[in-house]
Chains A and B, each alone.
Chain A
């Protein structure tokens, strides 16, 4: 079946450093890639997304890049802050028009003050 692989599973950075999380997807026809942030015990929150007609999207300290040829996309967080500590999930929308998102396994980001 279709899948999304996410790396690394854990990431620890110093406050102010950058963090990068990478995902690879298998469905070459996927055209929508969201990123979610989940704090402990809370719901996943959509923080940024990208569609296949663009290669990069930025929102303040967060950016996502997409390489359709290589079938991978990445989340970049600059000037990290302790409140960025959470689990981050990437996902890819299946091309079957069912609305099904396939999620990566998650990355636990720890930002040390």
Chain B
């Protein structure tokens, strides 16, 4: 999982602003995922991409958007439509969507001021 990076580590946003979280991997993995984690909670899937130029909504996609223009990059935009965006955001990747092993990046902690 050392091959997955996320930036920034901490992010502060004012209400009404869009922000973009970066996720990059150099593992040559086809599949990438975005999760949201709230305090004391499990991981909830926001969006996932099985292959470049394709992505699907997860369980809590409202207020978020993604793109997958390059295999190694899967940025997540938190829009102003997301009413409660303060959370820990984790990106993950796997060699392909069939095997299952997902490896996580270090996470971005987003706080809305």
Known pairs A43-B106, A44-B90, A45-B1; A99 contacts B42 (CB<8 A)? no
- Contacts of A1-56 to chain B: CB distance below 8 A: 1, 6, 32, 34, 36, 42-46, 49
Number of interface residues of A (CB under 8 A): 22
B106 near A99 with CB under 8 A, answer no
Instruction: Tell which of A57-65, A76-84, A103-111 binds the partner.
Output: A103-111
A44 contact from B59, B96, B99, B104, Cβ within 8 A = B104
Alpha-carbon distance between A98 and B54 when the two chains are bound, in angstroms:
12
Known pairs A43-B90, A104-B42; A99 contacts B107 (CB<8 A)? no
Chain B residues closer than 8 Å to A1, beta-carbon distance: 59
A44 near B43 with CB under 8 A, answer yes
Residue from A34, A42, A93, A104 having most chain B Cβ neighbours under 10 A = A93
Bin the interface of chain B by size. Answer: 20 to 34
Binding site for A on B (CB under 8 A): 1, 31, 33, 40-45, 48, 50, 56, 58-59, 90, 94, 96-107
10 sample A-B contacts, Cβ–Cβ < 8 Å, listed by A number: A34-B101, A43-B107, A45-B104, A46-B1, A98-B56, A99-B98, A99-B100, A100-B45, A100-B58, A103-B44
Binding site for B on A (CB under 8 A): 1, 6, 32, 34, 36, 42-46, 49, 89, 93, 97-101, 103-106
